[in-house]
Amino acid sequence: MTRFKKIFIYLSVAGVALLTAALAAGIAFYVHVHAPNVDLDGQESIAITIPRGSSYEYVVSILNDAGILSSARRFHRVAVRKSYPDRIMPGRYVIHHGMSNNQLINMLRLGEQQPVMLTFNSIRTGADLAAVISRQLEVDSSSIVKLLHNQELMENKGMDTLTGKLLFIPNTYEVFWNTSADQLLKRMHREYNTFWNDQRRARATEIGLSPEEVGILASIVQSETKMDDEMARVAGVFMNRLRQNIPLQADPTIIFAHGDFSIRRVLNRHLTIDSPYNTYKHTGLPPGPVYLPEPRAIDAVLNYEEHDYLFFSAKPDFSGYHSFAATYSEHLANARRYRQALNERNIYR
């Protein structure tokens, strides 16, 4: 064999070896970067949350604890290659079965999170509101309460510390999980102004109330009845009382004043409480809402039913509806029947 043939064979072998090595490296690169590395064990997707200030090690522990990664080692290699450890973005991420390291890491490092559908209703106090929100978002409840108690901030929003929670109109809102308390308040202020459009504001002026006063009255109306087809009539009773300077005598305000929401039957001893929310002692509206009114209750006040009723009492059939009366004697008869029904059911408190 000539010297040139030996060199040729040597080069051919070396070339094949290099080609094989390159092919192996290419396959390894593909596996590490582009091959599926998310195995959700039969699930299509799973959501994780990465808190503010999380380290790379903590993110990896979240992924491992959720059983998301087929190979943590391969994930780590690609994460380092793409500088993800230095670019941790907090948020709520939806991870899909079969995602590659490249897809997963790109989503995480770019902060491509999925929003949360934030919902709140059936709220009485600011603390309750903050607690409900904090169960759905990263934000701490105390930070929301602190904003609601910030007089200067509330005044800038056209509210005070007693009416500020009216900014949070019950609904479902699409927000990011890591939205801060400040960001959330700004969002709710925008939503409030959108709801209180020119038409609603003009109607509030027409009936002699500010939007905040409408909200306060709506909170009482919704506390008195859950029946949509009765709200406007209940609102009409309170509007008649306001215009005639008759105390509203609304039991929900008494319950709110006591802070005991287990009270099912307001008794004479409850009416002695010294509170601006005691609408048996004070005429006019209380200083703040006793419930977070929903749009249906607000619109019921704006479009209250005009009638001569000054009283209403729950029907004794416990249907949720009320008997209305224009005279005190009629009301006493209605109230007597309801009290008898309560006694028959052993409801004394």
Q: What is the mean pLDDT of residues 141-169?
A: 96
Angle at alpha carbon of residue 166, lines to 231 and 321, rounded to 5°: 15
The reported pLDDT for the residue numbered 264 is 85
Specify whether 141 is located in the same domain as 28.
Answer: no
Give pLDDT tens digits for 64-120. 999 999 999 999 999 999 999 999 999 999 999 999 999 999 999 999 999 999 999
Q: How far apart are CA 246 and CA 311, in angstroms?
A: 11
Q: What one-character DSSP code corresponds to residue 92?
A: E
Number of domains in the chain: 3
Query: Which of 179, 195, 211 marks a domain boundary?
Result: 195
Q: Which domain holds residue 159?
A: 116-195
How many angstroms separate the CA atoms of 82 and 76, rounded? 10
Cα–Cα distances (Å) from 242 to 222, 279, 283, in that order, read 17, 11, 8
CB-based burial of residue 348 (10 Å sphere; 0-12 exposed, 13-18 middle, 19+ buried)? exposed
Q: Give the pLDDT band of residue 344 (cuts 50, 70, 90).
A: confident
Asked whether residue 215 falls in the same domain as residue 319, the answer is yes
What average pLDDT does the structure give for the chain?
90
Half-sphere exposure of 227 (CA within 13 A, CB side): 14
- 339 and 203 in a common domain: yes
21 pLDDT higher than 90: no
Q: In angstroms, what CA-CA distances link 131 with 81, 166, 224?
A: 41, 16, 24
Q: pLDDT by residue (tens digit) across 85-101?
A: 999 999 999 999 999 99
pLDDT score at 265: 84
- 121 and 186 inside one domain: yes
The confidence score (pLDDT) of residue 5 equals 55
Cα distance between residue 165 and residue 186, in whole Å = 13
Query: Who has greater pLDDT, 253 or 346?
Result: 253
Under 8 Å between Cβ of 280 and 247:
yes
Final residue of a structural domain among 195, 229, 253: 195
Long-range contacts of 155-161 (CB under 8 A, 24+ apart): 157/185, 157/189, 158/212, 159/212
List the beta bridge partners of residue 116: 175
Q: 207 and 333 share a domain?
A: yes
Establish if 1 belongs to a structural domain: no
Partnered with residue 48 across adjacent β-strands are: 93
Query: Residue 15 pLDDT more than 90?
Result: no
Residue 2 is assigned to a structural domain of this protein:
no
What's the farthest any 2 CA atoms get from each other in the chain?
Answer: 128
Distances (CA, A) of 90 to 27, 82, 87, 111, 231: 33, 17, 10, 7, 44
How would you classify residue 67: left for phi > 0, otherwise alpha for psi between -120 and 50, otherwise beta? left
**Residue 264: which of 223, 233, 292, 229 has the closest Cα?**
223
305 within domain boundaries: yes
* 349 lies in some domain: no
Full DSSP string of 7-60: HHHHHHHHHHHHHHHHHHHHHHHHHHHTSB-B--TT-SEEEEEE-TT--HHHHH
Q: Tens of pLDDT along 167-180?
A: 999 999 999 999 99
Mean pLDDT of 6-35: 49
Query: Both tokens of residue 204?
Result: 């509030």
Same domain? For 172 and 263 the reply is: no
Q: What average pLDDT does this structure show over 14-33?
A: 47
The answer, yes or no, to whether residue 149 has pLDDT greater than 60, is yes
